[in-house]
Chain A
């Protein structure tokens, strides 16, 4: 283990927090804080200076999606890794649109969790095949609506489909004769487009409501 990663754990369930805490420390990382709700998470993300935030989605007071949005806004260098017990599509997709850098199911193993934390810190978008399927679906709908919002390039589409099929970035790179890093960049661009789309949505909403200022 090269360098310990500073992690903030956000979950309303203490048993779960303890478990994850132990896993991370066993892997040599340091847990700089634990938050039980979204409000606390936003404050701790500011004060405890974590590099990675492990974010649950169903939280009291402020939802995980909202907390993710605020944390990414206030501290863009902090990576939010969503760790959800649910495959609730809407929430997961919303969290990614809000700026989450990755998504993992809570049923993943300890190794996968620790691995994902490292990858997210290193700027690698952590995707599950099923999330890739959701994102593909989302972009297909955008393409059908033809609203001029950012769509996927043919290559991005190809990459995303391989992710959905369960290929790792390295394997995709080998298949497409591009570097693993390039594959990661494509995935990162896909995420950025999703987040951009969220902004379009908000802007359209604002315009419809006759507000003269688009929200942040």
Chain B
């Protein structure tokens, strides 16, 4: 707990402890005053008045110091306090005439309690009880110091002694307990507040993103989309230097797609160690230039990161194949999870081919497909190619999955 406080600076639990310590301080002054008044009135009954006044002076100085010193109640202060209070108890046996301590405990009753209280505040119930026990022990010692042998105390005096000890123990323990409860609830409150603040910040960020999205939608995206569209049309018409216009259109499209992906999807809470297959496939599709690739997924599809990486790599190869061989205008990547199987398909509208592994191998074209198949089989899955001349090609990958997790919300 100590290190936590140091880390957090002035934490809420620390603040509640300080409040309690200030309360104890009031007790100190009250007891100090009462101790002085009683000593003044009974000064004639002291066998060592000098020691009595010196002790009151010590307690006064100590009280004044802990009042004005802004020092926090650390280990040294606590031990100092325990020493001062133990001294006051011990002195109570020394200042009165022999055998009198039983009737006139003087310094032992009031002020020393504050050490038990302070220990309780700072160290919880255990600290309070320990300090109380230490004070109790010193109280026992006052009897021999007062010339009363412990061996043959009458029952009444034993009872008084025990009740004195119990006083110390209860004071330390009870305040320690209260302090502990206070600290815990302060901590809980602090945590709850922090969580609330985080939630608010998140909401504010989302709202900001939304307004940003609207802004960008209105100005930048619209114009980019237009440039991209018009640029392509101009390039096709051919009366402008078409390569340049087409390049311009590509540039606008890239920016448009990038901006859109940046702002328009809710940031999803990512389950530990997983990745959104949809997100990864969309990112991949944006990088393919020569064919129009659209991605269609049933849900965000949270999959194990390793599985996701392998599948994306396989799809990348499939798309490279499409660009190189299919003469397609567009390709669609589809992914879904259905009954424990993750299905990913890459479909193009190109020329198609006759899928015959033997023939492909003979032509030296089997490499890429084989490597894709290897990836999928490593994941315990299968690959199926459906194609016919002139009818495009569909490559479907199926791998078993435990279950893609759906985090709260979408």
The answer to whether A129 touches B332, judged by C-beta atoms less than 8 angstroms apart, is: yes
Of A108, A130, A171, the contact of B295 (CB 8 Å cutoff):
A130
> Would you call A164 an interface residue if the criterion is a C-beta within 8 Å of the partner chain's C-beta atoms?
yes
A166-B334, A167-B347 as given contacts; A109 in contact with B229, CB under 8 Å: yes
Selected interface stretch from A13-21, A45-53, A117-125, A183-191: A13-21
Of B223, B232, B264, B347, the contact of A86 (CB 8 Å cutoff):
B264
The answer to whether A85 touches B217, judged by C-beta atoms less than 8 angstroms apart, is: yes
Selected interface stretch from A1-9, A72-80, A133-141, A198-206: A133-141
> Would you call A87 an interface residue if the criterion is a C-beta within 8 Å of the partner chain's C-beta atoms?
yes
> Would you call B14 an interface residue if the criterion is a C-beta within 8 Å of the partner chain's C-beta atoms?
no
User: How far does the alpha carbon of A85 sit from the alpha carbon of B222 in the complex, in Å?
Assistant: 7
The answer to whether A164 touches B264, judged by C-beta atoms less than 8 angstroms apart, is: no
The answer to whether B226 touches A86, judged by C-beta atoms less than 8 angstroms apart, is: no
The answer to whether B218 touches A13, judged by C-beta atoms less than 8 angstroms apart, is: yes
List of A residues within 8 angstroms of B294 by Cβ:
128-130, 166
Of B229, B264, B296, B349, the contact of A133 (CB 8 Å cutoff):
B296
Selected interface stretch from B106-114, B239-247, B252-260: B252-260
> Would you call A58 an interface residue if the criterion is a C-beta within 8 Å of the partner chain's C-beta atoms?
yes
Q: Total A-B residue pairs with C-beta atoms closer than 8 Å?
A: 97
User: How far does the alpha carbon of A129 sit from the alpha carbon of B264 in the complex, in Å?
Assistant: 18
> Would you call A212 an interface residue if the criterion is a C-beta within 8 Å of the partner chain's C-beta atoms?
no
Instruction: Enumerate A135-183 residues with CB–CB distance to B below 8 Å.
Output: 136-137, 140, 161, 164-167, 171
- In whole Å, how far is B251's beta carbon from the nearest beta carbon of chain A? 13
- In whole Å, how far is A27's beta carbon from the nearest beta carbon of chain B? 12
List of B residues within 8 angstroms of A136 by Cβ:
298, 336
User: How far does the alpha carbon of A19 sit from the alpha carbon of B233 in the complex, in Å?
Assistant: 11
The answer to whether B226 touches A129, judged by C-beta atoms less than 8 angstroms apart, is: no
User: How far does the alpha carbon of A173 sit from the alpha carbon of B70 in the complex, in Å?
Assistant: 85
User: How far does the alpha carbon of A124 sit from the alpha carbon of B189 in the complex, in Å?
Assistant: 59
Closest B residue to A19 using CB positions: B226
Of B218, B230, B253, B296, the contact of A58 (CB 8 Å cutoff):
B218
> Would you call B299 an interface residue if the criterion is a C-beta within 8 Å of the partner chain's C-beta atoms?
yes
List of A residues within 8 angstroms of B295 by Cβ:
129-130
> Would you call B179 an interface residue if the criterion is a C-beta within 8 Å of the partner chain's C-beta atoms?
no
> Would you call B122 an interface residue if the criterion is a C-beta within 8 Å of the partner chain's C-beta atoms?
no
List of B residues within 8 angstroms of A132 by Cβ:
296
> Would you call A12 an interface residue if the criterion is a C-beta within 8 Å of the partner chain's C-beta atoms?
yes
The answer to whether B228 touches A13, judged by C-beta atoms less than 8 angstroms apart, is: no
Instruction: Enumerate B198-231 residues with CB–CB distance to A below 8 Å.
Output: 213-214, 217-218, 221-223, 225-226, 228-230
> Would you call B297 an interface residue if the criterion is a C-beta within 8 Å of the partner chain's C-beta atoms?
yes
Encoded as 1 (CB less than 8 Å from any A CB) or 0, chain B from 243 to 285 comes to 0000000000100110010001100000000000000000000
Closest A residue to B347 using CB positions: A166
The answer to whether B230 touches A166, judged by C-beta atoms less than 8 angstroms apart, is: no
Encoded as 1 (CB less than 8 Å from any A CB) or 0, chain B from 369 to 405 comes to 0000000000000000000000110100000000000
User: How far does the alpha carbon of A86 sit from the alpha carbon of B217 in the complex, in Å?
Assistant: 8
User: How far does the alpha carbon of A132 sit from the alpha carbon of B256 in the complex, in Å?
Assistant: 23
> Would you call B146 an interface residue if the criterion is a C-beta within 8 Å of the partner chain's C-beta atoms?
no
The answer to whether A107 touches B296, judged by C-beta atoms less than 8 angstroms apart, is: no
List of B residues within 8 angstroms of A140 by Cβ:
298-299
- In whole Å, how far is B112's beta carbon from the nearest beta carbon of chain A? 66
Of A58, A86, A107, A165, the contact of B229 (CB 8 Å cutoff):
A107
List of B residues within 8 angstroms of A58 by Cβ:
214, 217-218
List of A residues within 8 angstroms of B264 by Cβ:
86-88
> Would you call A30 an interface residue if the criterion is a C-beta within 8 Å of the partner chain's C-beta atoms?
no
- In whole Å, how far is A14's beta carbon from the nearest beta carbon of chain B? 10
The answer to whether B233 touches A106, judged by C-beta atoms less than 8 angstroms apart, is: no
Of B213, B214, B225, the contact of A107 (CB 8 Å cutoff):
B225
Of B221, B233, B331, the contact of A166 (CB 8 Å cutoff):
B331
List of B residues within 8 angstroms of A164 by Cβ:
296, 298, 332, 334, 336
List of B residues within 8 angstroms of A131 by Cβ:
296
Closest 3 CB pairs of A and B: A166-B332, A133-B296, A129-B296
Q: List 26 A-B contacts (CB under 8 A).
A: A15-B222, A19-B229, A58-B214, A85-B217, A85-B221, A85-B260, A86-B213, A86-B217, A87-B264, A87-B265, A88-B265, A106-B229, A107-B229, A107-B256, A128-B294, A129-B295, A130-B296, A130-B297, A136-B298, A137-B299, A140-B298, A161-B334, A165-B345, A166-B348, A167-B347, A171-B392
Residues of chain B whose beta carbon lies under 8 Å from any beta carbon of chain A: 213-214, 217-218, 221-223, 225-226, 228-230, 232-233, 253, 256-257, 260, 264-265, 294-299, 330-332, 334, 336, 345, 347-349, 391-392, 394
Known: A86-B264, A133-B336. 17 other contacts (CB 8 A): A15-B223, A16-B226, A58-B214, A87-B260, A87-B264, A88-B265, A106-B229, A109-B232, A109-B233, A129-B334, A130-B296, A132-B296, A133-B296, A136-B298, A137-B297, A165-B345, A165-B347
